[in-house]
Each structure stands twice: as structure tokens, then as C-alpha cells.
Structure 1
Amino acid sequence: MTEAERPSAIGQALLAISDQWNLLILQRAFLLRIRRFADWRDELGMSESVLASRLKELVAGELLRPAPYREQGRTRTEYRLTERAIELWPMLVEIWSWERRWVPDRQGLSELVHDVCGNRTDVELGCAGCGQAPVAAHDTEIVRGMATFAQVAVPRHHRRTLRGKAAADPLSYFPETFDLLGDRWSTVILVAAFLGTRRFADFRAELDVAPSVLSNRLRQFRQLGVLAVEEPGYQLTDKGLDFFGIFAYVVDWAQRWYTGPPDTDLRVIHRACGQPFRPCSRCRSCGQELSRTEVHFAVPEGRFPSPRTRITVSAPA
């Protein structure tokens, strides 16, 4: 692979996280401090072969690091979040917040508690540079480099697999979230829409995607209420535009932790201050910027077979 063909930073990031199993493994590491193979297997209901392949992938992507531990006289391996993975925590909270606003069947969703003000709250997206909040997609301008979307929509290491028990799992993301973020083509189509791509032919030309795949994803996005057909083509709805917070965190994280070929970055500019947009999460109750160690999720009673009322967003040491 030549330098010009190497994936952009965002392409590398999507390869690492745009998979439902990878997202769930990382989420459980944050929320439940899971770090051992058997615990992920039992918590997520994964087959051992799928879990082994995803852990290998996450280690290769420097999101988990293996660490030896002793148990019953034997040396075993557990997996701990790296600093690269720990910095994904605002995106995971932003996903929860988007689901809270837009997924109708959200009964029993955990509630975010800000330990500083003591309130059960939601988050709003702010600009870490100038302090303005809230910030929406229309408050920003996206400037792209010379990257082709072939450098973003990089081939996956494995086939997409679907999770059967998600509906009964109170912590898992909703299917709508995985339809947008847990599939590389869906995520890249959404990125193209944020960049102003509107017509079917333009999506095809930008993405170099098979017509059948593109038709399927665009139809799916319309059914989800993320895209609507208006002249001159497909337009992001309010629900789709509100996914901007997740998009902003992915772009920011990707370009801090991955290096792509020259001139392949995306720049998100905050119009109010004229500076590159650095997203931050603020508490809707008190307005303070949220810290990973100062929030937790309160789980509704009866949502777990065993008592579990407080779930942290902290990473295991």
C-alpha cells in the first residue's frame, strides 16, 4: 500500500470502532470495569471465537493492552483500556444522550448523574476553545482535505455480525445506533452527508460503493428518520443533524490519535470563535464541563437480575 492509499486518520479510527462488538467491549470496560475474557463472554453473550478476534483487533489497534495476572497459581491475561481508548468516553456518553433524545423505545435507559451538582442530567455539546454551549451542526463549518472516501471506507477485517440478545440488555446501545455507527458503510455515508453530499450519483462517486449497498443504506436511513428526500436530493433531518455530536467526537479523537497521509484530515471550524472545534460535554443542569471521574449512570431498579444501581464511566486502573 502506498502512502497515498493509506487510510486517513478517520478511516483508521472507523476501522477500530465502527463495529458493534468492539463498541460493546469498550463500553463494558468503561461501565462495568470488565477486563477478562470470560467476563466479556458472559456479559455480552459472545461466542469465544468472535470475542477472541475482537480482542486481538482491539489490542492491535492499541485500544486494549494485555496485562498478566495470577489466578489459582496460573498466569492469565486480562485486557485494560489504553489512554487512546480512555479518551473515547465522551463519545460513549454522547451516544447515550442521542439515544435518550431520539430513540422512542427507550424505557429503562440508565440515567446520567453528575456527581458535582448531584443532579440526574443530560449533556450538551460545547466548544472547549471558547466555552460556548450548546453547539449544533449549523454552528460549524466542515472543511475537507484532499482525501478520497476510499481512504475512509477501508475494508473491515471480518464480516459484520449481529447480536441476538441486544433487546433484552439494558446497557447495550439500541439497534438504531448500530445501524449508524456499527457499520462502516453507514458511518461513511453519514460523514458524506455532513459534508454536503446529496445526490445518489454523488454518494456513489465519492464513496465508490456498490449501488445495491448504497441503496440499502439510504433506504435504511430514511426509515430511521435520519435522511429525508428533498430537492436537490437527500437531506439530513433534525435527528440526523443531531448525530453531529458523535461525529464531532469521532473526528476529534481520530485526528489526535491516528496519522493519515498528508492533507487527508477534516477540519471542523466553530463559526463563533473561528477556531478548530474541540468538542466537550457540559452538564445541562449546572453548565459545568463534565469529567470522566465525576459522572456515573444510575440504573433503574429491576433492570438487572442482580443488584446493580451505580455504573461508573471510569476506566479500570
Structure 2
Amino acid sequence: MLGLLGDEWTLLVLQQALLGATRYGDFRSGLPISDAVLTNRLRTLTAEGLLERRVYQKNPPRAEYLTTPRSRSLWPMLVSIWAWERRWVSDHVPALPAMRHTACDAEFAPQVICRACGEPASDKDVVAQWGPSGTWARSIPAVTTRRRSGSAEAGMFPQTMSVLGNRWGFAILVAAFVGFSRFTDFQTQLAAPPGSVADRLSIFVANGVLVAADNRYRLTEKGRGLFAVIITALQWAQRWFEAPEGPAVELAHTACGRRFTAGLTCDQCGGRLRGSQVARS
């Protein structure tokens, strides 16, 4: 998951695909992206089963890129990103549209619940531990991803992309959620280059996701608001990249004492959300 989604251009291309882009020109006009980078990301996403390449014209050859069950099941993560940006990032120009729940026809924000008990859940009552296939070393991809260059305003979720669109950044944020706070802990546990850790921590502090005090980096309320993004990304990864020996991470909901699986509900009507029921307002 980090290898695929820990890349800003990949996230932006998937975002456009889930918003309806299918042809090369759609992606090219919707993103400030070079032909070489777009071609590379489309090829990778097709090879990984996130997009399906379908030829619609033979002379001259033309193809479209369609979403698959694997990419469509990313909707909880992208909806969570959308909600977080609307709540915490006020400088979008133009402003991000609100989300409408078509089942109740109300503007809404998604709420995380525990599927086992149906009650609201947050990072304060969800406990994580490594499962049979989980370690920090195994969870960090060896491939190096490059930060997206160009306008910081590209895409619908520019601040989320600057926070999560990097494999080390995503891992550091997860580590912060499970209790890491010192620079040396992030660096040694993740076996990350010190420069990469320093760069990511400075971005988190600048964006108000972490606050630095007493030689520690702690999550702010804005940072804790990313819980829904992290947990939905984790569930997507464990669904589509299952290890033979078992899950990488095991979650428990302390409020009910059972295994935790996240669900999203509408904060207006309380109904369970479906991707097909989420629209721009």
C-alpha cells in the first residue's frame, strides 16, 4: 500500500479516475503533469490492477483507463481525505465542495464507527498491534518515491498530498498514532534516513499536524483528524494485499473489546455510507 499510494502523482491520478476521468486527455487536462510521468503512473496502476486499459479505437490506436473493484474500494479513504481537507484546510481556492449523502439528500461529514458494536470510534479507543506478517521493516517499501513538483494547489487535496504522498511520511504518521514521539524513535524503528525523517517532521509541524515541544513531536487535533484516513487506507491494504501468514496489523476496539473494523456513517442521518451515495454538493 505504501509503495503504491505513497506517491503524490499516483494518488492524484486515482483521484481523477474516481471522479470520472477515463482518457489520457482527461488526466492530462485535470492535472499539471508531464506526459512521461502520466504514462508511467497509468502503466503502474494498470499493472497493479487499479485501472483497466481498454482500447476503444484502433486507427489511430486510442485507449481508456477504467476503474476496477480494487480502485473503487478506495472510496472510504478518499472520502475521509475530502472531509479532513474541508474541516482543517481553509485556504482552498476555489473552496472544496461539500459532500452530499444521496440517501438522505443532506450535506454531511463521514463518521468512523466500529462495525462490531456500531458505536463511534477514534484513535483514543482503537488499539493496534503487529499481526503475524507485520514489522516496521517489512512495511516500508524499498522503492524510492519522488515528491511531486509543481504547484502546491494541484489537485483537490493539496495539503493531504503533501502530508501523505510520501512513503516515509505515511509511516511516520502511523508511528505517531501508536505512540512514537522522539526523533530517534522514528529514525531507528523505521530505519529511515535522518534527512527524510527531519524533512517529514518539519512538514507535519508546518501543516499543524504535529506540534514540537520538549524534544517530542505530538499529534495535534488536526493530526488526530487523520485517523479516518489512516484506518481506511490500512483496511484497503489488508483486503487487497493479504499475506499468507495473516494480517500485518491487528486492531481492537477497547469500548466493546472486539476486533475493530471501521465503517463510515453519515453524521446527518446516521446511515451507513456507500461509495455510490456520495456526491458533490
What is the TM-score normalised by the length of structure 2? 0.92
Other-structure match for 2:208: 225
More deviation in 235-244 or 268-277? Answer: 268-277
2:5 is equivalent to residue 17 of structure 1: yes
Other-structure match for 1:30: 18
Percent identity for Structure 1 against Structure 2: 37
CA-based RMSD of the aligned residues comes to 2.0
Cα deviation for residue 267 of structure 1 reads: 1.3
1:186-242 superposed Cα distances (whole Å, 9 cap, x missing partner): 111111111211211111111111212212221221222211234572221111111
Cα separation, 1, equivalents of 2:246 and 2:211: 32
Cα deviation for residue 70 of structure 1 reads: 2.5
Other-structure match for 1:58: 45
Change (3 A) 1:236 1:158: closer
Change (3 A) 1:249 1:152: same
Q: Is the 8 A contact 1:137 1:242 kept in 2?
A: no
Matched residues, number: 279
Cα separation, 2, equivalents of 1:231 and 1:138: 22
2:35 to 35, 48, 58: 48
Other-structure match for 2:71: 85
Change (3 A) 1:154 1:74: same
Cα separation, 2, equivalents of 1:214 and 1:43: 32
Cα deviation for residue 53 of structure 1 reads: 0.4
Cα separation, 1, equivalents of 2:7 and 2:259: 28
Cα separation, 1, equivalents of 2:225 and 2:251: 15
Q: Is the 8 A contact 1:282 1:288 kept in 2?
A: yes
Q: What pairs with 1:154-303 in structure 2 (closer than 5 Å)?
A: 154-156=141-143, 158-164=145-151, 167=153, 172-174=156-158, 176-230=159-213, 233-260=216-243, 262=245, 265-298=248-281
Q: What pairs with 1:1-150 in structure 2 (closer than 5 Å)?
A: 13-31=1-19, 33-70=20-57, 73-106=59-92, 108-133=95-120, 135-145=121-131, 147-150=134-137
Other-structure match for 1:5: none
Q: Which SS does the other structure have where 1:79 is aligned?
A: strand
Q: Is the 8 A contact 1:19 1:160 kept in 2?
A: yes
Q: Is the 8 A contact 2:7 2:145 kept in 1?
A: no
1:82-132 superposed Cα distances (whole Å, 9 cap, x missing partner): 111110011100001111111131452111111111111221111222211
Q: Is the 8 A contact 2:126 2:253 kept in 1?
A: yes
Cα separation, 2, equivalents of 1:129 and 1:82: 28
More deviation in 256-265 or 198-207? Answer: 256-265
Change (3 A) 1:216 1:160: closer
What is the TM-score normalised by the length of structure 1? 0.82
Cα separation, 2, equivalents of 1:232 and 1:42: 45
Cα separation, 1, equivalents of 2:249 and 2:215: 24
Change (3 A) 1:263 1:256: closer
Cα separation, 2, equivalents of 1:158 and 1:96: 23
| Aligned AA (2:47) | A
| Aligned AA (2:169) | S
Q: Which SS does the other structure have where 2:141 is aligned?
A: coil
Q: Is the 8 A contact 1:148 1:206 kept in 2?
A: no
Cα deviation for residue 275 of structure 1 reads: 2.3
